[in-house]
Amino acid sequence: MIASIDHFHSFNHHFEEPGRRLQEIITSQFLKRNMKRLSVFVVLLLGCSSAPFISCNSEGDALHTFRRSLSDPDNVLQSWDPTLVNPCTWFHVTCNQDNLVTRVDLGNSKLSGHLVPELGELKHLQYLELYKNQISGKIPEELGKLTNLVSLDLYNNNLTGSVPESIGNLQSLIFMRLNNNQLSGQIPRALTTIKSLKVIDLSSNDLCGTIPVSGPFEHFPMKSFEGNPRLKGPELLGLAAYDSGCN
């Protein structure tokens, strides 16, 4: 009886061994074919988890760069964790159904610091709301890349420099409020090409030159430009000649 049991185990082993070998061969071939792909995945995974300011998401990286440029005494940006897959769970950030950033709402948040060129990477952004803070420095030219932008609200800050000519690229813009800053230079003529623009407020700055009257500027009230002692106009109405020499 014992001999027959041993014979059974030997017989069973005889059939199991080729199956195990076949499985090992298949596994080995699979690993060889996919090792390069697997190695790339591991490198990316380790890179995302070990780098201190990398989210492996360009929009998250751009927003976190902005965060690092700011002083945030009330910790309103505390949820902006760069290790997350995307920034859609961060407070004050809204995304669409494709997890792409469409809104940044940080108005009246006691933030100080400056804007960063990386904000131009938020290609699907529609609302940039940074009003009533203490943000200083220049408005980056790169904001002209935000071609889906509907509302640009930077009023009541400490912004300096000129209004970038690149803002004229924002052909979906409806609201642009830059009032109560320290902006200087001319009103860019490129803004007259934004047919969608319904509301503009450039009051209480240090703008100079003349006020355009073409395009949407034909309908803007004069209060949108008051509080700029060096600003003249409107041009072409016999009240002021076009002035290209101010800065």
Is 8's pLDDT higher than 60?
A: no
Domain that holds residue 185: 58-232
Per-residue pLDDT tens digits for 10-54: 545 554 555 566 566 555 565 455 544 444 333 334 444 434 444
| Cβ atoms 82, 61 nearer than 8 A | yes
CA distances 242 to 108, 185, 218, 231, Å, are 37, 14, 16, 11
Question: Same domain, yes or no, for 35 and 98?
Answer: no
pTM beyond 0.85: the answer is no
Q: Is residue 87 part of a domain?
A: yes
Question: Same domain, yes or no, for 147 and 227?
Answer: yes
Mean pLDDT of 68-78: 98
Q: What's the total number of domains in the chain? A: 2
